[in-house]
Each structure stands twice: as structure tokens, then as C-alpha cells.
Amino acid sequence: MSRSTPFAERLRGLWRWLAQTGRLIVGVPDYDLYLAHMRRRHPERTPMTREAFFADRLQARYARGASRCC
């Protein structure tokens, strides 16, 4: 049974941050970040399932008529 050292915890945190940043760069939404937000800001609401979350994000990104330009 090994205990986590502060260095190992910092390394794990850095890895999580790098993975999250990489996902955002390529446009993959972060479901775990969404869940943390819902717990922190909207505890009374039930969060979407993983499948519903990704479907919602795809709809928001590729919906017709919602142009970002001009």
C-alpha cells in the first residue's frame, strides 16, 4: 500500500490539466468538468447523462442557422 506524495498529486493534477486542455483544443467537450460545474453552481438540477451531454454539445456546435460569422 503506497501513499501518494505531494509530487505525485501535483503530477496527476498537471496531467488532468493537460488532457483537458488538449480536449478543448480539438473541440471535445469535458463531461467531468460539466459535472463539477453542475454540482457547484446548480446542485438542485439533475445533470445530463454523458450521451445527452455530447449530443447537446454537437447540436450546439453544428446546428444549422446558428452562424458565427457575419
Domain assignment of residue 43, given as a range? 6-62
Residue 56 domain flag: yes
Reading the chain (70 residues) residue by residue, the pLDDT tens digits are: 456 689 999 999 999 999 889 988 988 888 988 999 999 999 999 999 999 999 999 888 888 765 666 5
Phi, psi of 45 (to 5 degrees): -95, 150
Residue 17 domain flag: yes
Phi, psi of 48 (to 5 degrees): -70, 155
Supply the pLDDT for residue 66.
53
Length of the chain: 70
Residue 22 domain flag: yes
Residue 1 domain flag: no
- The structural domain count of the chain equals 1
pTM: 0.63
